[in-house]
Protein backbone atom coordinates (compact mmCIF):
# COMPACT_ATOMS: atom_id res chain seq x y z
CA UNK A 1 0.00 0.00 0.00
CA UNK A 2 1.28 3.44 -0.92
CA UNK A 3 1.29 5.87 1.98
CA UNK A 4 1.32 9.64 2.00
CA UNK A 5 2.98 12.07 4.38
CA UNK A 6 1.12 13.41 7.39
CA UNK A 7 1.17 16.96 6.02
CA UNK A 8 -0.38 15.81 2.71
CA UNK A 9 -3.00 13.69 4.46
CA UNK A 10 -4.00 16.56 6.77
CA UNK A 11 -4.09 19.03 3.88
CA UNK A 12 -6.36 16.66 1.97
CA UNK A 13 -8.58 16.17 5.03
CA UNK A 14 -8.97 19.92 5.47
CA UNK A 15 -9.76 20.22 1.77
CA UNK A 16 -12.52 17.63 2.08
CA UNK A 17 -13.95 19.42 5.12
CA UNK A 18 -14.09 22.85 3.52
CA UNK A 19 -15.59 21.51 0.29
CA UNK A 20 -18.18 19.51 2.23
CA UNK A 21 -19.10 22.44 4.48
CA UNK A 22 -18.74 25.12 1.78
CA UNK A 23 -16.70 27.36 4.07
CA UNK A 24 -13.04 28.07 4.72
CA UNK A 25 -13.63 27.66 8.46
CA UNK A 26 -13.07 24.25 9.99
CA UNK A 27 -12.81 22.67 13.41
CA UNK A 28 -10.16 20.33 14.88
CA UNK A 29 -12.83 18.16 16.52
CA UNK A 30 -14.58 17.69 13.17
CA UNK A 31 -11.27 16.67 11.62
CA UNK A 32 -10.80 14.11 14.38
CA UNK A 33 -14.37 12.82 14.12
CA UNK A 34 -14.71 12.82 10.33
CA UNK A 35 -11.18 12.46 8.98
CA UNK A 36 -8.72 10.96 11.49
CA UNK A 37 -9.34 7.33 10.52
CA UNK A 38 -8.73 8.17 6.87
CA UNK A 39 -5.58 10.13 7.75
CA UNK A 40 -4.33 7.14 9.74
CA UNK A 41 -5.07 4.83 6.82
CA UNK A 42 -3.44 7.12 4.25
CA UNK A 43 -0.28 7.56 6.31
CA UNK A 44 -0.07 3.96 7.45
CA UNK A 45 0.56 5.13 10.99
CA UNK A 46 0.59 2.80 13.96
CA UNK A 47 1.00 5.57 16.53
CA UNK A 48 -1.38 5.77 19.47
CA UNK A 49 -1.66 9.56 19.74
CA UNK A 50 -2.65 10.46 16.21
CA UNK A 51 -4.77 13.36 17.44
CA UNK A 52 -1.53 14.94 18.68
CA UNK A 53 0.06 14.38 15.28
CA UNK A 54 -2.93 16.14 13.74
CA UNK A 55 -2.44 19.07 16.14
CA UNK A 56 1.22 19.27 15.17
CA UNK A 57 0.34 19.42 11.48
CA UNK A 58 -2.23 22.15 12.15
CA UNK A 59 0.43 24.13 14.00
CA UNK A 60 2.78 23.74 11.03
CA UNK A 61 0.08 25.03 8.68
CA UNK A 62 -0.42 27.98 11.01
CA UNK A 63 3.32 28.66 11.26
CA UNK A 64 3.53 28.62 7.45
CA UNK A 65 0.61 31.09 7.28
CA UNK A 66 -1.80 28.74 5.52
CA UNK A 67 -4.35 28.77 8.35
CA UNK A 68 -5.14 30.96 11.34
CA UNK A 69 -6.60 30.13 14.76
CA UNK A 70 -9.97 31.79 15.26
CA UNK A 71 -10.42 30.88 18.91
CA UNK A 72 -9.04 28.71 21.70
CA UNK A 73 -11.53 25.93 20.98
CA UNK A 74 -9.96 24.48 17.84
CA UNK A 75 -11.59 26.59 15.16
CA UNK A 76 -9.40 27.54 12.20
CA UNK A 77 -9.73 29.35 8.91
CA UNK A 78 -7.78 29.11 5.71
CA UNK A 79 -6.01 32.42 5.12
CA UNK A 80 -5.83 32.31 1.31
CA UNK A 81 -8.00 29.72 -0.38
CA UNK A 82 -6.19 30.04 -3.69
CA UNK A 83 -2.80 29.56 -2.04
CA UNK A 84 -4.13 26.56 -0.10
CA UNK A 85 -5.43 24.89 -3.28
CA UNK A 86 -2.51 26.03 -5.49
CA UNK A 87 -4.73 27.98 -7.87
CA UNK A 88 -3.23 29.07 -11.14
Integer Cα distance of 77 and 40 in angstroms: 23
Integer Cα distance of 37 and 83 in angstroms: 26
Q: Please, which pLDDT band fits residue 1 given cuts at 50, 70 and 90?
A: low
* Residue of 74 and 81 predicted with greater confidence: 74
Which domains, ranges and CATH numbers included, belong to the chain?
6-84 (1.10.10.10)
pLDDT tens by residue, 16-67: 999 999 999 999 999 999 999 999 999 999 888 999 999 999 999 999 999 9
CA angle 13, 14, 19 (to 5 degrees): 100
pLDDT of residue 77: 96
pLDDT of residue 2: 66
Rounded to 5 degrees, what are φ and ψ at 77?
-140, 145
CA angle 69, 18, 59 (to 5 degrees): 30
Amino acid sequence: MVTVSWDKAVHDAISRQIVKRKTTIFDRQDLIKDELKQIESETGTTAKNTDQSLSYELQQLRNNKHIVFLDNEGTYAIINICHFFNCV
